[in-house]
Amino acid sequence: MGAHHPERPERLSAIEDQLIASGLESFLTRYDAPLATDEQLARVHPLEYVKAIREYAPSSGTVHLDPDTAMNPFSLQAALRAAGAAVLAADLVLTRKHNSAFCAVRPPGHHACRARPMGFCIFNNVAVAARHAIHAHGLERVAIIDFDVHHGNGTEDIFEGDEQVLMASIFQHPFYPYSGTDHPAPNMHNVPLSAGSGSKELKKAVIEEWLPALEEFRPEMVLFSAGFDAHLEDDMAMLRFTDADYAWVTEQVKAVADRHAKGRMVSMLEGGYALSALGRSAVQHIKVLAGLN
Ligand SMILES: [Zn+2]
């Protein structure tokens, strides 16, 4: 994204470092992310949008898609692999090769709307996973859990009114992208939290809002938009979640996945910009996903 941009390559190194330091690394199986195909992307974005992104991609220098979102000569490949990771992870989990998968990818995806890049995001990775699960594997109900500090407006844009997908989200409000409080459709379960909210407010939102909705929906697979920028050490925003909160919220959702979805979970990295907190929190989340907590 350019020098001094918070969405930087060191984010993935920070997660790698903590996977090694925690000892979790030796329990994981690794896969290289393949490139998503136009067919897979076109389940979420109009094909003209996918083609336009391919055309915007520069062979040198940087182009800006919006004030926060840029592409350099490597960005198209990275974006295609981030979305491809979503597809591969869904395949691995739905063919029972693994129960769960975490995709350590950049760029993130949840602000990417049907036909608009936004907020560091080019393709909506979690949406690509959901539609792949539905179209390629015949699932009828997929839940998306979004605990990034920012509202996943792109995911909402793609799935509002889609009865095959339930989205449960918490985010700081009022805050970028200033959406998520208008309850656009019954399948959207948004819980805006005011600045300064922490563990207590998270737990109340999950127990009172998310879990009843998830129980009623009975998802056949659970996807996470796993952003770690609501951490108290992350100065991108003003929520105050701790490392342990990420384990807790993952445990709550995993219990639903175990009951209804044969434990099938795929998690896509979204935000998280305080490197140490990002790495530690991702490890807490992955440990629960892997059943190693
Ligand atoms: Zn975010």
222 C-beta neighbours (distance < 10 Å), count: 27
| Cα 149 to ligand 1 centroid, rounded to whole Å | 5
Chain-centre distance of CA 37, in angstroms?
19
Q: Are 267 and 28 in contact (CB under 8 A)?
A: no
Residue 183's pLDDT is what?
Answer: 85
265 - beta bridge partners?
100, 222
The region, left, alpha or beta by phi > 0 then psi within -120 to 50, assigned to residue 185 is beta
Residue 111 appears among annotated catalytic residues:
yes
CA pair distance 119, 7, nearest whole angstrom: 10
Q: Could you give the 3-state DSSP secondary structure of residue 257?
A: helix
Residues 6+ apart with CB under 8 A from 259: none
pTM of the complete model beyond 0.95: yes
| Cα 145 to ligand 1 centroid, rounded to whole Å | 14
Closest CA to 56 of 122, 11, 5, 102: 122
Parts of the chain with a pLDDT under 50: none
- The 10 Å CB-count burial string (b at 16+, else e) for 40-70 is bbbbbbeeebbeebeeebeeeeeeebeebbb
Residues 6+ apart with CB under 8 A from 268: 82, 85, 86, 89, 103, 105, 108, 109, 125, 126, 129, 223, 224, 225, 226
Check 110, 111, 150, 231 and give the catalytic one: 111
Residue 182's pLDDT is what?
Answer: 85
| Cα 96 to ligand 1 centroid, rounded to whole Å | 30
Residue 221's pLDDT is what?
Answer: 98
| Cα 120 to ligand 1 centroid, rounded to whole Å | 9
CA pair distance 4, 268, nearest whole angstrom: 24
| Cα 214 to ligand 1 centroid, rounded to whole Å | 23
Q: Is 203 exposed, middle or buried (0-12, 13-18, 19+ CB in 10 A)?
A: middle
